[in-house]
Amino acid sequence: MNITLKQAESIIEEAKAKAKEIDTKMNISVVDAGANPVAFARMDGAWLGSADIALKKAKTARYFDMPTGNIGEISQPGGSLFNIEHSNGGLITFPGGIPIKDASGAIIGAIGVSGSTVENDHTVAEAGAKAI
């Protein structure tokens, strides 16, 4: 099962609302179950360099079906996934990417958010992921 465009747009709207609530500007990317882009938004004034990071966070979350912050914890020196960020054409292993599940718990895509602190990125991604 894949995320629909309508669902992806709803996710982006929820993420944008959270970003506005915490007074930050974000790049927000949603990918489907195959890690293909479905929807993207760059809020006015959001950093240009964060657009690519948002997409890579979404892809990373989908490739490994876990939040990117969790991957970051186990990819530190001495960790079981040390240096994994160099695989798959480049991964992002800090917070801001979260898998998206349907009502049955199946992963149907992922959201990636970038443009602020990693804590804010994660907060906004979490708000978007809860839209489904």
Task: Kindly report the pTM of this predicted structure.
Answer: 0.94
Mean residue pLDDT across the chain = 96
Q: Would you call 117 helix, strand, or coil by DSSP? A: coil
Compute φ and ψ for 124, nearest 5 degrees: -70, -40
Indicate whether 37 pLDDT > 90: yes
Indicate whether 89 pLDDT > 90: no
Q: At 3, is the pLDDT very low, low, confident or very high (cuts 50, 70, 90)?
A: very high
Q: Give the whole-angstrom CA distance, residue 36 versus residue 69.
A: 21
Interval 9-16 mean pLDDT:
98
Q: Give the whole-angstrom CA distance, residue 29 versus residue 56.
A: 9
Q: How many CA atoms lie within 13 A of 104 on its CB side?
A: 5
* Structural domains of the chain ordered from first start: 5-129 (3.30.450.150)
63, 40 in Cβ contact below 8 A?
Answer: no
Q: At 118, is the pLDDT very low, low, confident or very high (cuts 50, 70, 90)?
A: very high
Strands 97-101 and 37-42, sheet pairing: unpaired
Indicate whether 90 pLDDT > 90: no
Contacts of 80 (CB under 8 A, 6+ apart): 74
Q: At 105, is the pLDDT very low, low, confident or very high (cuts 50, 70, 90)?
A: very high
